[in-house]
């Protein structure tokens, strides 16, 4: 009996020892796996840090290339494209070699890298060529800065349709409720104020407003002014205004540009060409006049002086000038005022000698006996 008990005890001890050994082995196995995972994490962190450093260095190289004075070199375009390609190769390798490889993503990167390289090179080359053109022919910059919306605005302005009803003339500036509830004086004054203070004006419309201001200055000096820039749009041939008095005809080009922009000789030469054409068709003394909010280059000034074109620089736009045109109809003798958003506005000429005038407010115009025209056209 004692022998059986001893045997059971020995078997129990052996079993316990076996389990203990197995537990130790399992712990060692788990420890090795954890260590392996830890090493992989460290390795992946190292790859990420290396990628970050490579990216930073690549960005520095690209910025240095962009600042290089030899930017018109095809070699540089090739070099810049190579930099981006290297960056894509690094991304491709990283996706393949990380602990959980993204083979599909790496294939996509590999597919697009060559196409991207070619596009980058072509884009950089075009930029270099454009810069070379601008450096060689400064006036090219004028065309680059033109917004296609400007041409669209010019075409739409010239081809405005006739409005269908009275409200449509001010529908862009008044709600239907405002139009119904406000008096005639109040609603047209409110529409005018909103028109003048509206945001997001295109450069073309801003330019037209400047031309109108210059036209106002000459009409109040007794000149008969034709607003060719507003009426002919992009086909004005460099002549925005024609101002006449009994003795002379002024061919006026207006440029309302930012102060940092400079007018080059191409503007002067275009104005001179138009001035010569007008001389051929007139018995009056014809003069060219360039009025701008900015300045001319030295070469442009020299050419203007040689061609006898008067230049007036730094003419600011007084946006508070009285812009309501009070006109007397030649046939009916009716006294009618016109607001800047009326399509016929730029066709209306103001002759101070006949009692016509500019006024600041609708109320002022009505007090002087002028009324709103019965039929209007609107400005889009």
pLDDT digits (tens, 9 = 90+) for 332-355: 899 999 999 887 899 999 999 999
Which whole number is the average pLDDT over 11-20? Answer: 63
Position 322 pLDDT exceeds 90: yes
Q: What is the pLDDT of residue 141?
A: 58
Tell me the pLDDT tens digit for each residue of 146-165: 555 555 555 556 566 665 56
Which whole number is the average pLDDT over 67-94? Answer: 54
Banded pLDDT at 71 (limits 50, 70, 90)? very low
What value does the mean pLDDT of the chain take?
A: 77
Q: Which CATH architecture has domain 150-372?
A: 3-Layer(aba) Sandwich (3.40)
Position 22 pLDDT exceeds 90: no
Distance CA 87, CA 82 (A): 9
Instruction: Look at 16-20, 87-91, 131-135, 275-279 and tell me which has the smallest mean pLDDT.
Output: 87-91
CA angle 323, 325, 329 (to 5 degrees): 175
Tell me the pLDDT tens digit for each residue of 233-247: 766 677 899 999 999
Tell me the pLDDT tens digit for each residue of 354-367: 999 999 999 999 99
Q: What is the pLDDT of residue 70?
A: 42
Q: What is the pLDDT of residue 298?
A: 94
Banded pLDDT at 136 (limits 50, 70, 90)? low
Among 346, 324, 343, residue whose Cα is nearest residue 335 = 324
Q: What is the pLDDT of residue 54?
A: 67
Banded pLDDT at 29 (limits 50, 70, 90)? confident
Which whole number is the average pLDDT over 369-377? Answer: 73
Distance CA 292, CA 313 (A): 5
Could you identify the residue written with the tokens 């950089």? 124
Banded pLDDT at 224 (limits 50, 70, 90)? very high
Q: What is the pLDDT of residue 64?
A: 63
Q: What is the pLDDT of residue 138?
A: 58
Domain segments of the chain as ranges: 37-136, 150-372
Cβ atoms of 234 and 154 within 8 Å: the answer is yes
Q: What is the pLDDT of residue 97?
A: 59
Banded pLDDT at 72 (limits 50, 70, 90)? very low
Position 34 pLDDT exceeds 90: no
Q: What is the pLDDT of residue 100?
A: 55
User: Which residue intervals of the chain are DSSP H helices?
Assistant: 2-67, 74-97, 103-136, 140-144, 148-158, 176-181, 184-197, 203-219, 228-232, 265-280, 298-306, 362-367
Banded pLDDT at 53 (limits 50, 70, 90)? confident
Banded pLDDT at 183 (limits 50, 70, 90)? very high
Position 258 pLDDT exceeds 60: yes
């Amino acid at each position: 009996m004692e022998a059986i008990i001893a045997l059971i005890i020995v078997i129990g001890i052996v079993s316990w020892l076996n389990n203990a050994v197995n537990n130790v082995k399992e712990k060692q196995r788990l420890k090795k796996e954890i260590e392996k995972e830890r090493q992989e994490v460290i390795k992946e962190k190292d790859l990420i840090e290396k990628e970050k450093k490579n990216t930073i260095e690549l960005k520095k190289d690209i910025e240095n290339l962009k600042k290089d004075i030899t930017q018109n070199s095809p070699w540089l375009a090739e070099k810049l494209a190579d930099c981006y390609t290297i960056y894509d190769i690094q991304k491709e390798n990283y996706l393949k070699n990380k602990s959980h490889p993204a083979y599909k993503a790496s294939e996509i990167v590999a597919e697009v890298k060559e196409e991207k390289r070619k596009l980058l090179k072509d884009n950089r080359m075009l930029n270099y060529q454009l810069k070379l053109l601008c450096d060689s022919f400064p006036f090219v910059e004028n065309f680059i800065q033109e917004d296609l919306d400007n041409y669209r605005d010019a075409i739409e302005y010239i081809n405005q349709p006739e409005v269908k009803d009275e409200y449509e003339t001010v529908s862009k500036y008044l709600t239907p409720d405002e139009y119904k509830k406000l008096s005639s004086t109040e609603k047209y004054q409110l529409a005018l104020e909103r028109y003048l203070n509206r945001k997001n004006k295109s450069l073309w419309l801003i330019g037209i407003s400047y031309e109108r201001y210059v036209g106002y200055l000459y009409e109040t000096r007794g000149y008969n002014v034709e607003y060719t820039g507003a009426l002919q749009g992009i086909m004005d041939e460099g002549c925005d205004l024609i101002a006449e008095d009994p003795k002379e005809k002024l061919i006026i080009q207006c440029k309302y540009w930012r102060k940092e922009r400079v007018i080059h000789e191409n503007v002067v030469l275009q104005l001179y060409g138009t001035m010569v054409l007008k001389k051929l068709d007139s018995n009056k003394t014809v003069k060219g006049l360039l009025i701008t909010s900015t300045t001319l280059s030295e070469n442009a000034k020299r050419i203007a002086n040689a061609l006898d074109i008067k230049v007036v620089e730094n003419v600011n736009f007084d946006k508070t000038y009285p812009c309501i045109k009070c006109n007397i109809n030649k046939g009916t003798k009716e006294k009618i005022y016109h607001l800047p958003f009326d399509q016929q506005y730029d066709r209306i000429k103001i002759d101070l000698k006949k009692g016509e005038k500019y006024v600041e407010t609708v109320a002022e115009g009505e007090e002087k006996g002028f009324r709103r025209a019965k039929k209007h056209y609107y400005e889009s």
